[in-house]
């Protein structure tokens, strides 16, 4: 039916549905926080009164036993943890995309246009954006000096 709003499952129902869909559930230790895992990807979910569940750890690929975030540097995507970084392969992106799609399906949440096109990165770091992390524009003489 057009205009019909999808029903959002509560946290316990969502965990049960994820379990039935083959997701592995692991308690995060405090309260009802849970880590969910499938396709060598994982995310951390906690109860939310309005949305049923929300992320306390966004979806990522498992790399060296840690949850890696997807970083886009313009020319390539990378998987980055606190200690490791590796180029993201096509297989990594397919698995992360499948994980996100199944999670959206289970939660009854809409898949946004840019998410439906492919994998969305957690962070975008393009080389052509100078001094982005410093929150300022470069001076003319800084554009051509090497930054070590």
HEC string of the chain equals CCCCCCCCCCHHHHHHHHHHCCCEEEECCCCCCEEEEECCEEEEEEEECCCEEEEEEEEEEEECCEEEEEEECCCCEEEECCCCEEECCHHHHHHHHHHHHHHHHHHCCCCCHHHHHCCCCCEECCCCCCCHHHCCCCCHHHCCCCCC
**In a domain? residue 112:** yes
In a domain, 4, yes or no: no
Domain count within the chain: 1
| Residue 118 counted as domain residue | yes
Note the pTM of the prediction, 2 decimals.
Answer: 0.71
Give per-residue pLDDT as tens, 6-30.
Answer: 677 788 999 999 999 999 999 888 7
Domain housing 78: 11-140
Q: Does a structural domain hold residue 2?
A: no
Write the pLDDT tens digit of every residue in 20-69: 999 999 988 877 899 999 999 999 999 888 778 888 888 999 998 899 98
Residue 146 domain-assigned (yes or no): no
98 assigned to some structural domain? yes
- Residue 72 domain flag: yes
């Amino acid at each position: 039916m057009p205009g019909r709003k999808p029903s959002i499952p509560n946290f316990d129902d969502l965990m049960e549905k994820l379990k039935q869909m083959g997701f592995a559930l692991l308690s995060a230790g405090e309260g009802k926080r849970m880590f969910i895992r499938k396709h060598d990807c994982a995310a951390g979910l906690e109860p939310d009164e309005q949305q049923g569940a929300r992320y306390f750890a966004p979806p990522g690929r498992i790399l060296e036993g840690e949850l890696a975030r997807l970083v886009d540097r313009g020319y390539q995507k990378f998987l980055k943890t606190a200690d490791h970084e590796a180029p993201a392969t096509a297989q990594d992106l397919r698995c992360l995309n499948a994980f996100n799609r199944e999670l959206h399906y289970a939660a009854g949440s809409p898949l946004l246009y840019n998410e439906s096109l492919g994998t969305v990165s957690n962070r975008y770091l393009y080389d052509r954006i100078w001094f982005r992390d410093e929150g300022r524009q470069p001076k003319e003489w800084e554009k051509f000096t090497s930054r070590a």
